[in-house]
Amino acid sequence: MSAGVAEGIHPTAVIHPSAKLDPSVKVGPHAVIGEDVTIGAGSSIGAHVVVERATLGKNCRLYPGCFVGTAPQDLKYKDEPTRLVMGDNCTVRECVTLNRGTTATGETRIGNNCLFMAYSHVAHDCRVGNGVILVNCVPLAGHVEVGDFAVLGGLSAVHQFVRIGRFVMASGGSMIGKDVPPFCTCQGDRATLRGLNNVGLRRSGMTRETIGAIKDAYKTLYMSGLLLADALKKLQASGGPAEVLEMAAFIERSKRGVMRPAGGSETEEEVG
């Protein structure tokens, strides 16, 4: 597709002949769409955007000056044919950088309905779920996993290989070096757990019974005085809802270690 031929393509845009753009896609001035790119229906590409080796879903909006699918910042990378895959309805604001994968996994993967605010960064081989929000200037290092509907506050940073569970809320400026269990909040440098994401749980549509079980599980894990291994066994034997078993399984799979509350920081009020 040559620039300026299709409706909605600005004449100054540069589009590689191998790129596959739905006819409804709009491309702004001086944007560069490189080889091995596919962009779904209803998406818009702003001025001076660069997209390389990426698949974008439907109705994605890329704001001016962002870079999607560009080469990873990894000295081991030698221009192997890796890529970035993004779902539908994602918003990528100004100056965001979303890098493609390395040969370690072959791709960086992003789900649906995500918002990447200005200057946020997703490094190589990350896995970002659905409905995730990265607030301004949040960087994810390589191989990070972020669960559905997690929100990372502005200027937070996430260490390589860290896993962040579903519905996690990280306060602004959190330095996250260990895995954060689902449904929790964290804060600080280095970040520690500060209770449950009560607002997120209420908005999620979970029943009161399920939310109550999650609160009880948190208390068992962190406020009962039990060793973590014994607390996990208690949760697994409790017959609780899937969300409680999800918390236990997440913790058991941790390789970097799981974030815990700061000494004396957890209270009944914070948990709910």
> Which residues are tagged catalytic?
124-125, 142
For residue 264, give every residue at least 6 positions away whose Cβ sits within 8 Å of its Cβ, in sequence order, or none.
Answer: none
Q: Whole-angstrom Cα distance, residue 65 to residue 200?
A: 31
Taking only Cα atoms into account, the Rg of the chain, rounded to an integer number of angstroms, comes to 20
CA gap 78, 71 in Å, rounded: 9
Q: Angle at which helices 242-252 and 228-236 pack, to 10 degrees? A: 150
Helix (H) or strand (E) holding 199: helix 198-203
Residue found under tokens 């236990």: 248
DSSP 3-state of 46 = coil
